[in-house]
Structure 1
Amino acid sequence: MSNLLPRSGYTLPVFACAGAVAALRRLIAPTDSPSAVTLDLVQPAQEAEIPIAQLAPLPDGSVLAITHSDPGDNLDLTRHTPLWSVVAWGEADQTDVIHLEGGEGIGRQVNQGDAPAIYRYAKTVITHNLTPLIPDGKTLRVTIILPEGRALAERTSNAAFGVVEGLSLLGTSGISEPLSAPGQLEQSREWLRDKADQHRHLVFCVGENGLDLAVKLGMNPDCRVKTANWLGPLLVEAGQLAVEGVLLLGYHGKLIKLAGGIFHTHHHVADGRQEILAAHCAAAGVPLAITQAIFHAETVEAGLTLLRDHDQALAAQVYQGLAERIDARASAYVNAHTGQGLRVGAMLFNRQRQIVATSTIGQALFQQVLLD
């Protein structure tokens, strides 16, 4: 059996940037047709060599470069999806040196005036790598296209986060960590063992949002463990290591699965989020019509919105019940696999990173992991 760690890849902005660099080089010098380009990822401070699949001038004077996404050993629906980067000289009255546009397949942010879903890191890495190549007195128009983006977006929960009709050029860095690859579990267990040697109370964060929010809430950064989707195995590991308590800090659309006994939270393994939310609504006495609407909601975030629109107090009651249920199911899961007791508390946040529910044990554990 291989002991190799899972292979990291790169986030979508890196491939968009690589294509733009190749297209700009061809725009400047018609004989320059790179088969690969080397980028400064900026975050982290390292270089990456990205293959260019195709490169050609277009009739309007612009240049098109095509790359293909490679997220590494990760269960990612964008694997091998093409990214088109179209680069042209800018207009005479253009105020920015680089005008970045989202074309077909790049989502629109409905809460931001339909601005293209091209976020800070994408803008940073593109600006950083293209600016030194632009001749004096010239400006650029860069358009990023995801030909398969609109179709792929239908398989995501992007709409719940206000992004429609396409995917986002999202990422806080250029590296795509293989968080859902099976080989990542062993590395996560090593991180957990290291933390357990130093702290008796830990904070489990599924992803970057939880890691960031933990610090903003005043928690000790050294108590954080990035679990990715491997919550079940890592809770068991914590029980075996005699950790006293684990605070689960996560997006409610992930942690709600634990209330239904699902301890691997990647959607490729199991889902049932709306069903779990609807069951808790029924148990709390939410009217049948509202419960049915939540059951049929496209996302659990949409279900939460329906519930809050109906009755804020009842929504708080339902989510408090979910948080307590997560605690009970998680503790029972650890006990069933180890025979050990482990205090588990839940703290759930929504897509605005606002805490929507904290269990009783979660409140107590929160005090234990605060930075002194």
Structure 2
Amino acid sequence: MRRGWTTGTCATAAAKAAYQALLTGTFPDPVEVTLPKGERPAFALALEELGQGFARAGIVKDAGDDPDVTHGATVIASVRIAPAGSGVLFRAGEGVGTVTRAGLPIPPGEPAINPVPRDMIRGVIAEVAALFGASGDVEVEISIPGGEALAQRTMNPRLGILGGLSVLGTTGIVRPFSCAAWIASIHRGVDVARAAGQLHVVGATGSTSEDAVKARYDLPEMAYLDMGDFAGGLLKYLRAHPVPRLTLAGGFAKFVKLAQGALDLHSARSQVDFAALALLLERAGAPAEIVAEAAGANTAKEVLDRAEAAGIDVAAEVARGAQAAARAVLRDAPVDVEVLVVDRAGAVVAHRPFDAEGAA
């Protein structure tokens, strides 16, 4: 599959082109940058503007075959000369967020331009300054038109990044479906919750299960970590960075897989073991006929519907297994776990409470 480029890489290339144009009056097009591991891609400019005391360049982000919300967005860098000795100053333009909470790699009040993209931008500014005999004291404003709306489809609002997107990237390259960005967002969510003193966080597989938790608890938005399919990404990080209480909420099929030991719950990366699910039915007291049907079922929902019609509480066994699997990943970390199994209509069909509430 085709790889792409991070917002950080695009911002770096745009900043390099804009600074060179500010010093020379001419935009390099294409513009080449060096990535953290030494690769040197080149980018065509989608925007060139040279004005009184500033230059602006833009690059259309190509995320390759990754389903990135910023694919096709224009990343723009505006560069102005700053006072002597200032170095590189970063500003958030249209569509780039501002950090408002502690716990992120960038302190509150700063533009949401992450450390590696900042280093990359500083690097190209120094490169151009050395080439043309300039000081390298500049103000770099990064903007992404439409970014504020796009940010609503990311974890930024929950992380306290307001007003737009983050400028991200550690390698400069987007690898299709690597899942790294989502897992990194989960980790930053835990960091923000811990820094704010939050004692209870939620990992939900989707909006329906998250809504079920919201109906039960009055928790701040930062408590919801948007786990999605990445149960392992959340649990392993909490093992090293614990929060006292964790609510896991998800659909029956997802939590069947968690109970069976899967930590990535996506259908492309883990499947329901129907033979094992049949054993859970047997443990729940199902008659042999229903157990046999489950072993040959097509979907987990089919098993749940048949069990509920017969008065068999197989969801309780799934919740028990999911809680045990989560505890096994957490090991001895001081994290108390409860589990909610939620059906497609949003009803809680099974609940395993926190230890403090008497789980058996």
Residue 40 in structure 1 maps to residue 34 in structure 2: yes
Match of residue 86 from structure 2: 96
Quickly say closer, same or farther: Cα 1:210–1:78, change in 2 above 3 A. Answer: closer
**Aligned Cα root-mean-square deviation (Å):** 4.1
Match of residue 80 from structure 1: 72
3-state SS of 1:56 partner: strand
CA distance in 2, matches of 1:149, 1:162: 15
For residues 339-364 of structure 1, the C-alpha deviation after alignment (integer angstroms, 9 at most, x for no partner) is: 368xxxxxxxxxxxxxxxx9433444
> 1:121 touches 1:171 (CA, 8 Å); kept in 2?
yes
Residue 52 in structure 1 maps to residue 45 in structure 2: yes
Code of the residue aligned with 2:146 in structure 1: it is: E
Code of the residue aligned with 1:75 in structure 2: it is: P
Quickly say closer, same or farther: Cα 1:154–1:272, change in 2 above 3 A. Answer: same
Shift of 1:35: 2.2
Residue 207 in structure 1 maps to residue 199 in structure 2: no
CA distance in 2, matches of 1:322, 1:337: 17
Shift of 1:318: 7.0
Match of residue 140 from structure 2: 142
Superposition pairs of residues 197-346 of structure 1, within 5 angstroms? 207-208=183-184, 256-257=204-205, 271-278=207-214, 281=216, 290=218, 301=224, 319=247, 328-331=256-259, 336-337=272-273, 339=275
3-state SS of 1:207 partner: helix
> 1:71 touches 1:176 (CA, 8 Å); kept in 2?
yes
Shift of 1:148: 1.2
Superposition pairs of residues 161-180 of structure 1, within 5 angstroms? 161-179=159-177
Quickly say closer, same or farther: Cα 1:74–1:325, change in 2 above 3 A. Answer: closer
3-state SS of 1:159 partner: helix
Quickly say closer, same or farther: Cα 1:205–1:170, change in 2 above 3 A. Answer: closer
Shift of 1:79: 1.0
Code of the residue aligned with 1:301 in structure 2: it is: Y
CA distance in 1, matches of 2:144, 2:273: 45
With 112-121 and 9-18 compared, the bigger mean Cα shift is at: 112-121
Shift of 1:62: 0.7
Residue 156 in structure 1 maps to residue 154 in structure 2: yes
> 1:323 touches 1:359 (CA, 8 Å); kept in 2?
no
Larger radius of gyration: 2
> 1:274 touches 1:299 (CA, 8 Å); kept in 2?
no
> 2:3 touches 2:175 (CA, 8 Å); kept in 1?
yes
Shift of 1:323: 12
Please report the TM-score for the alignment, with normalisation by the length of structure 1: 0.56
Quickly say closer, same or farther: Cα 1:115–1:53, change in 2 above 3 A. Answer: same
3-state SS of 1:35 partner: coil
For residues 58-96 of structure 1, the C-alpha deviation after alignment (integer angstroms, 9 at most, x for no partner) is: 2x321111111111101111111111111122224xx33
Code of the residue aligned with 1:119 in structure 2: it is: N
Q: What are structure 1's unaligned runs of at least 5 residues?
A: 1-5, 185-203, 213-251, 258-269, 304-314, 342-357
Residue 15 in structure 1 maps to residue 10 in structure 2: yes
> 1:86 touches 1:144 (CA, 8 Å); kept in 2?
yes
> 1:274 touches 1:300 (CA, 8 Å); kept in 2?
no
Shift of 1:123: 0.5
Code of the residue aligned with 2:204 in structure 1: it is: I
CA distance in 2, matches of 1:50, 1:104: 22
3-state SS of 1:319 partner: strand
CA distance in 1, matches of 2:254, 2:75: 40
Residue 360 in structure 1 maps to residue 296 in structure 2: no
Shift of 1:322: 7.2
Shift of 1:136: 3.9
Matched pairs, number? 247
> 1:157 touches 1:299 (CA, 8 Å); kept in 2?
no
Q: What are structure 2's unaligned runs of at least 5 residues?
A: 102-106, 189-200, 227-242, 278-321, 333-360
Match of residue 337 from structure 2: none
Quickly say closer, same or farther: Cα 1:155–1:299, change in 2 above 3 A. Answer: farther
Please report the TM-score for the alignment, with normalisation by the length of structure 2: 0.57
CA distance in 2, matches of 1:211, 1:154: 19
CA distance in 2, matches of 1:278, 1:174: 37
Quickly say closer, same or farther: Cα 1:273–1:122, change in 2 above 3 A. Answer: farther
CA distance in 1, matches of 2:186, 2:80: 39
3-state SS of 1:115 partner: coil
Shift of 1:278: 4.1
Shift of 1:366: 5.5
For residues 193-250 of structure 1, the C-alpha deviation after alignment (integer angstroms, 9 at most, x for no partner) is: xxxxxxxxxxx997347899xxxxxxxxxxxxxxxxxxxxxxxxxxxxxxxxxxxxxx
Quickly say closer, same or farther: Cα 1:49–1:168, change in 2 above 3 A. Answer: same
CA distance in 2, matches of 1:24, 1:172: 23
